[in-house]
Amino acid sequence: MVRRVLTAGAEFVAVLLLVSAGVFLLVSMVPGDPAVAVLGEGRTAEEYAELRTDLGLDEPIHLRYLDWLGGAVAGDLGTSLVPPQTAVSERILAALPVSLELALLGITLALLIAVPMAMWSAYRQGGRSDRMISATTFGLLSMPSFLLGLLLIAVVVNSFGLLPRNEWVRLSDSVTGNLEHALLPALTIALMEAAMFTRILRNDLANTLTEDYILAARARGMHPLRVLVSDALRPSSFSLVTVLGLSIGRLVGSTVIVEYLFALPGMGKLVIEAANQGNYPVVQGAVLVIAVVYVASNALIDQSYGFLDPRTRRARA
Local confidence pLDDT in tens for the 317 residues of the chain? 677 777 777 888 888 888 889 888 888 887 777 777 777 778 888 888 888 888 777 888 888 899 999 998 888 988 888 877 899 999 999 999 998 899 899 999 999 999 999 999 998 888 899 999 999 999 888 888 888 888 999 999 888 888 887 778 888 888 898 999 899 999 999 998 999 999 999 999 999 888 888 888 888 888 888 888 888 888 888 888 888 877 887 787 667 778 888 888 888 888 888 888 878 889 889 988 888 888 888 777 777 766 666 555 544 44
**Domain 95-309 belongs to what topology?**
MetI-like fold (1.10.3720)
- What is the structure's pLDDT at 315? 47
pLDDT at 310: 56
On whether the CB atoms of residues 293 and 249 are closer than 8 A, the answer is yes
Listed in order, the ranges of the chain carrying CATH 1.10.3720.10 are 95-309
Q: Is the pTM of this model over 0.85?
A: no
pLDDT at position 300, please?
Answer: 79
